[in-house]
Structure 1
Amino acid sequence: MNPLSDVTQLPDDFDGKVRLFPLPGLVLFPHAMQPLHIFEPRYVEMLRESLATDHLITMATLTDPTVMPVASPPVISQTVCIGRVISHTELDGDRHNVLLIGTRRATIRREIESTRSFRIAQVDLIDDFYLPAATAKRGDLKKRLLTAFGQIIPPSAGSQKSLHDLMAGPMGVGPITDIIAYTLPFEPEDKLTLLAMSDVDARAEHLIRLIQRGDVQLESVSVSEQEFDLQESFTESSRNQFPPPFSVN
């Protein structure tokens, strides 16, 4: 088992019950890493429970963040991504910096009533499916995907070297598709479509079509220019930064 597989494995006793962390505009994918800044009391409670048990937090996408229901919780996407906390730093004022890596796709079967301040759900895992008949063509699919990606990323030496390393390296089509889908600033609906697809080859082909649609224009920014600001994270300008900025929650 390689290190990437190690960090994206679910615990052996995983029973399908997850803690939900709904956010507007954010769709996490397996193998992708999402920095979070957590300070809202209910999500601090969620984080503390996670750190004391399985280190899992499941990211869900608010389907309409402009609508705030009075009598019921906000509506979220039924396709979610289970994440694992791989880094945590507690700051002053009960604020927390967290690094989350996506582990598995899942579909919400039902939400569970709970006395906790955050939402709990029972989920069904979505397993990746590799069509045996497509095995011989998968190398070409990986090349076409990375070539399409290379045509829209900033032409910096670092970006191009990373692309070359991916092209020559052993990482498969599945993880590469997920990381690119997470990185690029597509609309949440497009990302959720990709997240829900279990057929890895079909997912990669769909991502290529989205890239070639021509909607994405990326601006290169350094890590030092990224800020912990929720509003900035979802403005039109910051959605087109590469790599994407941190999210504050």
Structure 2
Amino acid sequence: MPGNYRKLGDLPLVIPVFPLDGVLLLPGGQLPLNIFEPRYLNMLDDAMSGERIIGMIQTRPHQSADIQTPALAPVGCAGRVTSFAETSDGRYLITLTGVCRFRAGEELPVRTPYRQVRADFTPYEPDLREDGASERTAADIDRLLAALRRYLDHRGLAIDWGDAESAPSDALINSLAMALPFDPLEKQALLEAETIFERKATLTALLEIDAAGTDDDEPTSIQ
């Protein structure tokens, strides 16, 4: 686990948050980000001089009249900055590696231009453990792969099937949940799935529902 976070006491009580709808970070996943907004450049400067922890979180639609500070979703995922580079025009190119999900508690009345919350990691302590989930999920991965094939055909997408079929099952589930173009509410459902088994079931259902529907969008591609 990035930063050797092995128990709840290793995690900070207060974390900066980066509200970004439609973007999902899961424990163990890697999320590349291109940071250019001044308040989030400030957030990165502060994070890099401290714990290097940032909480990725979505907002709650229609829950706040304040466009500048929309209400936050109840659950996010904390990640640690594991790659950092600065461009010639002042942007930061970073990679966040997911550490642990959290429930967003009280938002602090801070003077920083970015938002900070009290993070309750307690409900998601199992995120910190590597417990062989890959072996247990592998036995029932065929339905997910079949649903994925229909989804990709329906969307006009392509992936490397060799990599997909050889990947550890939990890594495949999480990488698909992060990479596929689900809407924000669907991304939130994948994030809040309590276990990898529930996330697999949710992911499979979303793939099957999409493949059974009518797609009016132009075909796209994913890397």
Q: TM-score, normalised by structure 2?
A: 0.78
**Structure-to-structure mapping, 1:5-44, within 5 angstroms:** 6-7=1-2, 9-10=4-5, 13-44=10-41
1:46 aligns to 2:43 (yes or no): yes
RMSD across aligned C-alpha pairs, in angstroms?
3.4
Distance between the aligned counterparts of 1:122 and 1:33, measured in 2? 23
Corresponding residue number in structure 1 for 2:54: 57
Comparing 100-109 with 143-152, greater Cα deviation is found at 143-152
Comparing 177-186 with 23-32, greater Cα deviation is found at 23-32
Corresponding residue number in structure 2 for 1:229: none
1:190 aligns to 2:186 (yes or no): yes
**Amino acid aligned to 2:200:** A
Seq. identity, %: 24
Corresponding residue number in structure 2 for 1:146: 145
1:113 to 109, 116, 126: 109
Check whether the contact 1:111–1:122 (CA below 8 A) recurs between aligned residues: yes
Shift of 1:179: 1.5
Check whether the contact 1:127–1:198 (CA below 8 A) recurs between aligned residues: no
**Structure-to-structure mapping, 1:53-202, within 5 angstroms:** 53-64=50-61, 69=66, 73-125=69-121, 126-128=124-126, 138-153=137-152, 159-166=160-167, 171-173=168-170, 175-202=171-198
Check whether the contact 1:150–1:160 (CA below 8 A) recurs between aligned residues: no
Check whether the contact 1:181–1:191 (CA below 8 A) recurs between aligned residues: yes
Distance between the aligned counterparts of 2:93 and 2:30, measured in 1? 13
Shift of 1:16: 2.7
Check whether the contact 1:141–1:204 (CA below 8 A) recurs between aligned residues: no
Shift of 1:186: 1.1
Aligned length: 210
**Amino acid aligned to 1:28:** L
Gaps (5+ residues) in structure 1? 1-5, 218-235, 244-249
Gaps (5+ residues) in structure 2? none
Q: TM-score, normalised by structure 1?
A: 0.71
Check whether the contact 1:8–1:102 (CA below 8 A) recurs between aligned residues: no
Shift of 1:139: 3.0
**Amino acid aligned to 1:198:** E
Corresponding residue number in structure 2 for 1:210: 206
Shift of 1:60: 1.2
